[in-house]
Each structure stands twice: as structure tokens, then as C-alpha cells.
Amino acid sequence: MTDVLAVTEHRRGDLRDESFEVITAGRELADDTGGDLHLAVISGDVEEFAESVNREGVDHVHTVDHGEEFNHDVYAQAVEGLYDEVDPTVLVTPNSVNGLDYAPAVANALDLPLVTDAVDLAYDDTLVVTREMYGSKVETTVEVEGDSFVVTTRGAEWPQAEGVGDAEISAFDADIDESAVGSTVTGFEEVGGGDVDISEADFLVSIGRGIEEEDNLPLIEDLVEATDATLSSSRPIVDNGWLPKNRQVGQSGKVVTPDVYLAIGISGAVQHVAGMKGSDTIIAVNTDPNAPIFDIADYGIVGDLFEVVPELIEEFE
């Protein structure tokens, strides 16, 4: 019992970034435990997904061909079945809406300790989990008691696994009890604001309270158009009702990892940074040279957005 089992994730036919992040987290753990890394691919086009997640460091991919989309009861049963089969030291799932849905149920059913929202992991005779507390102001290290553990990993904390692996891919008969499947996915409706998914965007123009009022939004929308970007924001903009909830970046919004994150009039509060620090290149525009956003920005413009943004629009156009 030294292996690690990580569960991948997909939605509407596409593997999510978390799938490739749990591979990295799982591989690191398996190096610590001295075991193999197993991946679970459940529902959807499992054969295609299995090929895609067969990246460097993966030893086994187990597919469970049942239904198309995530379903709590199917995942809970399939993961429990795979846990019995693999007998891992650690079961890793993304700390996503889906992961947080079935991981506690699996931990409860198997009577295993569960630690959520890990930002770092290690195994040294026991599982050692780093978590953030008090709005990401404090880091804690949790040494978990037990022989086997369930842990959920925060998005964008681990790089996505790359390379092509030579894992053994096999179908697992999870023997799903249909009478215990109490729900069916009948369709998708994105949280307010249509089907824009800011977590999929390559270039985000993100606005904060510095824009002062809703009437100033068209200026930012012009920049979004000129740069062919996607619009996102800090929480106050959503709380004010100026943008829908699906545009919010941060601890209580979405975790984003674009190539470019252009933060305009955003101070860089820890709850905001928690959602965007994984961006490749961070650019900040702020009047305050001491704004915390500049601590993590690759490029910064200390200036008034009402002067800077029109110049950027002109430049891009």
C-alpha cells in the first residue's frame, strides 16, 4: 500500500486543467511514498480522456465508462471501487465543485481522514498537508494521523503535467448500483451572465473598485474588444451588480490561469490574489505604487486608469 490514486475531471466533453494538476501533485506524492501513480477517468469519452491524461509520471489509468457528465453517486461508487482495487496510501481529487461533492462522501464511506484545499503535499511516514487560513494570510502544516488519506488539491497550485507517458490503460468494472444513483444531469446553466468561463480565457482584462462607477464599464469593454480579451473582475464589482458572478476572480470566485492577467484598479487583496496568482504574466495598473498587486505583478503601470486605458486602447487598435 504505497500507491497514489488521483481522480481526473472533465466537463461538457473537455478535460479540465485540474486533471493535469492532480497528475503533478499525485506524482510528487507517489515519489514520496515510493509507489505508483494511478489515475481514475470516470464518465464521458473515457478512451479519449485516458489517452490525454497519459502524461509523464502516470503508471496506470483506470477508466469507468458510465454516463457522460459528472454525477455524485456514480463518482462516489466508482472512486470507492477503485480505492478497494488500488489500495492507495493517498486518494487525491481536485478541490473543485465536483471534488468537494464526492471526496467527503468517499472519505466518510471508507472511514478515511479528509483534508481539503491543499496548497502543498508531502508524505513522510504520514501525510503532511499545507493549507492556507485566515483568508490566505497564514499557512498551516497539517500532519494527518492514519494509514490512508483523502486530500483535495487547490486549483493552479501545481503545474500541469506534460510529456507523453506510457501508462497501462485499463477499463475498470465499477459495478455501479443504478438504484443508488439518485440524480441525473439534464443540462447546464452557467451562473449568471451566459456561458463565459473566465477560467478558460487566455487573456483576462480584470477590473476593480478603481473604476469607481458602472458608467465607466464601456471604457474597459473597449479595451477588452481592442485586445480580444475576456472581462473579469474583483468581488466589489460583482457585489455592486455591475458584472455577473461568473466574472469574479478570487477565493469566493473562480481560479484563473490565463497567459496574461491585466489587473486594472485592483488593490491585490489576498482573497483576489488567491484566484489569479497562477497567471503566466500579471500586469497591474494602479494609482497607488504601494498597492499589493505590484508585489506579484510582472509589469506595473503606476497611473490613473482613466488616462492609461485610453492609451492602451489606442495602442492595441
Ligand X SMILES: Cc1cc2nc3c(=O)[nH]c(=O)nc-3n(C[C@H](O)[C@H](O)[C@H](O)COP(=O)(O)OP(=O)(O)OC[C@H]3O[C@@H](n4cnc5c(N)ncnc54)[C@H](O)[C@@H]3O)c2cc1C
Residue among 72 and 209 whose Cβ is closer to ligand X: 209
Closest alpha carbon to 253 in 267, 232, 268, 281: 232
Instruction: State the minimum distance, in angstroms, from the CB of residue 63 to ligand X.
Output: 35
**317 vs 314: CA distance, rounded Å:** 5
Q: Report how far apart, in Å, the C-alpha atoms of 230 and of each of 109, 124, 256, 262 are.
A: 42, 43, 12, 10
Q: Which residue is nearest to ligand X (CB)?
A: 250
Q: Which residue type sits at 218?
A: P
Specify which residues 301 forms β-bridges with.
285
Tell me, rounded to whole angstroms, the distance of Cα 160 from its chain centroid: 11
Instruction: State the minimum distance, in angstroms, from the CB of residue 99 to ligand X.
Output: 18
Instruction: State the minimum distance, in angstroms, from the CB of residue 210 to ligand X.
Output: 3
Residue among 99 and 275 whose Cβ is closer to ligand X: 275
Instruction: State the minimum distance, in angstroms, from the CB of residue 304 to ligand X.
Output: 4
Residue among 60 and 235 whose Cβ is closer to ligand X: 235
Residue among 198 and 285 whose Cβ is closer to ligand X: 285
Residue the block writes with cell 487583496: 269
Residue among 42 and 205 whose Cβ is closer to ligand X: 205
Specify which residues 149 forms β-bridges with.
90
Instruction: State the minimum distance, in angstroms, from the CB of residue 233 to ligand X.
Output: 7
Instruction: State the minimum distance, in angstroms, from the CB of residue 266 to ligand X.
Output: 4
Residue among 37 and 301 whose Cβ is closer to ligand X: 301
Instruction: State the minimum distance, in angstroms, from the CB of residue 130 to ligand X.
Output: 20
**2 vs 149: CA distance, rounded Å:** 12
**262 vs 229: CA distance, rounded Å:** 10
Instruction: State the minimum distance, in angstroms, from the CB of residue 138 to ligand X.
Output: 14
Instruction: State the minimum distance, in angstroms, from the CB of residue 272 to ligand X.
Output: 3
Residue among 61 and 293 whose Cβ is closer to ligand X: 293
Residue among 79 and 308 whose Cβ is closer to ligand X: 308
Residue among 94 and 300 whose Cβ is closer to ligand X: 300
Binding site for ligand X (CB under 6 A): 135, 208-210, 234-236, 248-253, 265-267, 269, 271-272, 275, 285-288, 291, 304-306
